[in-house]
Amino acid sequence: MLRSTVVVASAAALLGALLAPAHADSRTPTVRVPEAVGFGGVVSSVDPDASRVGVDVLRRGGNAVDAAVAVAAALGVTDPFSAGVGGGGFFVHYDARRQEVSTLDGRETAPAAAGADLFLQDSQPIPFAEAVTSGLSVGVPGTPRTWQRALDQWGTLSLDQALKPAEELARRGFTVDATFHRQVAENAERFADITSSRALFLPPPAIGSTFRNPDLADTYRQLRRDGVAAFYRGPIGRDVVATVNHPPKDPAATRTVRPGRLTAADLGDYRVPRREPSHARYRDLDVYGMAPPSSGGTTVGEALNILETTKLANESPTQYLHRFLEASRLSFADRNRWVGDPAFTDVPERELLSQEFADSRACLISPTRALTGPVSPGDPRDPKPCATTGEEAVTPYEGTDTTHLTVADRWGNVVAYTVTIEQEGGSGIVVPGRGFLLNNELTDFSFTPVAPGVPDPNLPGPGKRPRSSMAPTIVLRHGEPVVALGSPGGATIITTVLQVLTQRLDRGLPLLDAVAAPRASQRNSATTQAEDPFLGTPEAAALRVLGHRFAATAEIGAVTAVERLPDGRWRAVAEPTRRGGGAARVVWPG
């Protein structure tokens, strides 16, 4: 977007001294606060250091995009097992002046040498864990180029300015918390087999100690000095290619660590397309999300459309949850069958989000009994009431350790940005001398077709982007922001966002209560994953009577969200306890 010389000069004058050393704010205690309300803008992320970086950007005159990039870079330091320059993500932006939502697709891509047999050996899929910890699982990272494109499109800072706080945070270090320690400990066995990962993370740093990452600080410095060309066409990229194709495995380790098929051309050819957001009209609201190759926007949107004809506010708690779970089940059946990379698959996005199709699915929901899953998909191009077509397509496993940040600024601009390296610790492979982990995003592809004889839009292919469940979401009413949110959690991201939205918008729960409420996740399977606190509720017992079956899980998702209040203030909300609790920050409390 063209910006006038006057605007650029004004921004430069205002921000020339922006982002003085991050430790200038070090008097602020590093605490996790789940809610913050006030003026001047807000930031919500999983980490207090990262949220503080973002608020500092806003306080010094930066906008929501500037802050979002700075927070994401800081999360690459403090939450490296979920985020970083070795991964990708989806960036959703609301422009307050234009009242327009836009998205950037920073999803990782498969190398040109990747075929449908990427994860097969002798026509059989290799073990999933073996695929994860390998060069085969590494897609071309999209995060650095996403940062640059976002700043070019809507920011006021340079990449140099935006990355400065994260570089300083990596160099001076941060205090290790219980979550960071646990994440290292849970990955210690495979980190020990990769010499570069062992050198950076082992032994697991003690809780309360200071963790420094000078190699990552140097990587950020090189990106600041030379731009993203250093990654996609320069020395950082050469190190990435060498690491993927020759993983630094300890010769004494017995683990099978397969080499990848990445080339310098794969990196150089990577692009971050600007895509039209997914859009669903729900009640009097416009719900915008990420279009394919993410399935988040279409699946959340379809589920909301299925629920459209039910006044959830008037339903009993049991009936509300029953309908939420059934809408999730049906929309996942359709997601698994129809959604993939639109560059390779004819995704019927408009039809999936049509009310006519949603109504043809909603009539399958009975108030007195649950569907038995997995159920078959519908045909969005030829919707018929209560009709299904073909074999059911089950939901493949996706890693849960992504992270999400949500930002709003004083002008009313909003960013919902989900960043990932896929599983906790990604591929487990640190690029030697660079201080960051590489993703394992290509394991989001189906290793084999999801059902015999059923077309699978998510098989690997050269230059293809694997289907994602990331669902950064912005909700507007009459063009003005109401709420923005997102979550990590693999395929549970979709159900988490849907549950929080319906609890806030339909059931009237305060945003913090909607985020903190016990969760359940139905993804077109015979059983519904549910957190232990959910399983202990009277509603869970009543749902069992309706035929729902549950499987316990420790946690589902880790939401960050912001909402605009009627008086012009912003509220930021983060998890009170999940993943150790998040960090909501506001520029001017009040």
Phi-psi region of 435 (alpha: psi -120 to 50; beta: other; left: phi over 0): left
540 bridge partner residues: none
Q: Answer for the pair 467, 296: CB distance below 8 angstroms, yes or no.
A: no
Contacts of 424 (CB under 8 A, 6+ apart): 81, 82, 183, 186, 187, 399, 400, 401
Q: Could you tell me the CA-to-CA distances from 318 to 66, 205, 289 in Å, in that order?
A: 43, 45, 28
Cα separation of 123 and 175, whole Å? 47
Q: Outline where DSSP puts E strands in 70-148.
A: 88-95, 100-106, 120-121, 124-125
Residues 6 or more apart whose Cβ sits within 8 Å of residue 431: 86, 196, 236, 239, 240, 243, 437, 438
The torsion of the CA quartet 129, 577, 473, 55, rounded to 10 degrees, works out to: -110
Of 98, 101, 97, 118, nearest to 109 by C-alpha is 118
Given 318, 402, 495, 502, the catalytic residue: 402
- 109 flagged as catalytic: no
Strands 528-531 and 550-553: parallel
Max Cα–Cα distance, the chain, nearest Å: 66
Angle 456-146-83 (CA atoms, 0-180°, nearest 5)? Answer: 80
Nearest to 424 by CA among 445, 398, 399: 399
Contacts of residue 245, Cβ cutoff 8 Å, sequence gap at least 6: 135, 259, 260, 261, 262
| Chain centroid to CA 149 | 18
Catalytic residues: 402
